[in-house]
Amino acid sequence: MQQILKSANITTDLEKVTKSLRPDRVFVLTDEHTSKLCFPVIETSDVIRDAKQVVIPANDTNKTVENLSRVWQFLTENGATRHSMLINLGGGMITDLGGFAAATFKRGIRYINIPTTLLGAVDAAVGGKTGINFHGYKNEIGSFFPAEYVIISSVFFETLDKKDVLSGYAEMLKHTLIHSQPDWDKLLSFPLENINFSDLLEPVFRSVSIKQRIVEKDPYEKDIRKALNLGHTIGHAFESFALETGNPVPHGYAVAWGLIAELYLSHRVCDFPKEKLQRTARFIREHYGAFEISCDDYERLYQIMTHDKKNEGDVINFTLLSDIGNVKINQTADKKLIFEALDFYRDSVDL
């Protein structure tokens, strides 16, 4: 079972965890940014001193089979065995790609995730989903292969800019929507204009615990884990479309915009309360702005949705809500209703 560690001292905790796993060799995967900004935080640790570091280009556009191959090649050329361990130090791109590299190298080696972004901490690093983008589609190739440990330290979050914080906050908002109204109320009233990171830690770990409990009940997404897909069917379509058009957007922003459209579907299909839909949409418009689409883009967005991994046959599958904390998995909507939801999204963000 994946263990989540709240770290007060990242180097000490990393040493304890690594020594408990007793790997024969240690490797560290970073991107060009986390190599410069985050690796120095852990490099004084005894277990890192003899580790070999592999660096790949930053940003989600580089979550590719080519960079995955570079990691495999580095591990091979530097003597990695089935008893070696990989430390993924970075955001969601690094933990997704690094986790998949670990899952497939010699049929699986152990790894640790150290998320350096808020989004990575509350989403990608936790739960065991790994993968890469392929032919323009998000996370098209991947596997379920959880890290032995996820070590979360706020020392990395304090260096994030506002956009990075908001990207993670959107996943936290999703977690509260599928869990409870009191948690949702707290997030909507949190002072995002003047963030106190000590105060932010409580809702961060609350968010992680919500996801972790769901994953433990359903590690392979056969049932209730599908709750975590709220906002992601349309959100991933926005994200893939943005990549296609050369205007990439942060994952969390795409999820936030996807939440508006899918809460509208929830209202139409499952009677989700209109006032909660409107309040959530106002919050997202205020903090995330808009991803610009027109009616002419609907058909392409719909085509992208047909490639979503959650689908069964030719039916587009959604996770919806009848109320906050009341999840309805395996819901469907026809093309006309999906286009209606996209209309509502555009009206909500004033496009």
Instruction: Indicate whether 134 and 168 sit together in one domain.
Output: no
Instruction: Indicate whether 227 and 342 sit together in one domain.
Output: yes
- In contact, 322 and 272? CB cutoff 8 Å: yes
Angstrom distance (rounded) from CA 64 to CA 70: 10
Instruction: Indicate whether 332 and 343 sit together in one domain.
Output: yes
What pLDDT, on a 0 to 100 scale, did the predictor assign at position 194? 87
Q: Which of 139, 159, 179 is the last residue of a domain?
A: 159
Instruction: Indicate whether 195 and 328 sit together in one domain.
Output: yes
Instruction: Indicate whether 117 and 239 sit together in one domain.
Output: no
Instruction: Indicate whether 19 and 153 sit together in one domain.
Output: yes
- pLDDT tens, 39-95? 999 999 989 988 999 999 998 889 999 999 999 999 999 999 999 999 999 999 999
| pTM, entire model | 0.89
Which residue ranges in the chain fall short of pLDDT 70? Answer: none
**Which residue segment(s) compose the domain that 69 sits in?**
3-159
Tokens of 330: 């395996």
Closest by Cα among 6, 8, 1, 17 to 87? 17
Tokens of 254: 């795409």
Count other C-beta atoms under 10 Å from residue 297's C-beta. Answer: 15
Instruction: Indicate whether 9 and 24 sit together in one domain.
Output: yes
CA atoms within a 13 Å half-sphere pointing along the CA-CB vector of 25: 15
Instruction: Indicate whether 176 and 203 sit together in one domain.
Output: yes
Q: Which of 144, 159, 174 is the last residue of a domain?
A: 159
CA atoms within a 13 Å half-sphere pointing along the CA-CB vector of 159: 14
Q: Which helix (H) or strand (E) holds 10?
A: helix 10-21
Pairing of strands 326-332, 317-323: antiparallel
- In contact, 85 and 18? CB cutoff 8 Å: yes
Instruction: Indicate whether 175 and 264 sit together in one domain.
Output: yes
What pLDDT, on a 0 to 100 scale, did the predictor assign at position 12? 95
CATH of the domain at 62: 3.40.50.1970
Instruction: Indicate whether 147 and 189 sit together in one domain.
Output: no
Instruction: Indicate whether 145 and 166 sit together in one domain.
Output: no
- pLDDT tens, 219-266? 999 999 999 999 999 999 999 999 899 999 999 999 999 999 999 999
Number of structural domains (the chain) is 2
Q: Which of 142, 159, 176 is the last residue of a domain?
A: 159
What pLDDT, on a 0 to 100 scale, did the predictor assign at position 159? 82
Instruction: Indicate whether 124 and 207 sit together in one domain.
Output: no
What pLDDT, on a 0 to 100 scale, did the predictor assign at position 190? 95
CATH of the domain at 277: 1.20.1090.10
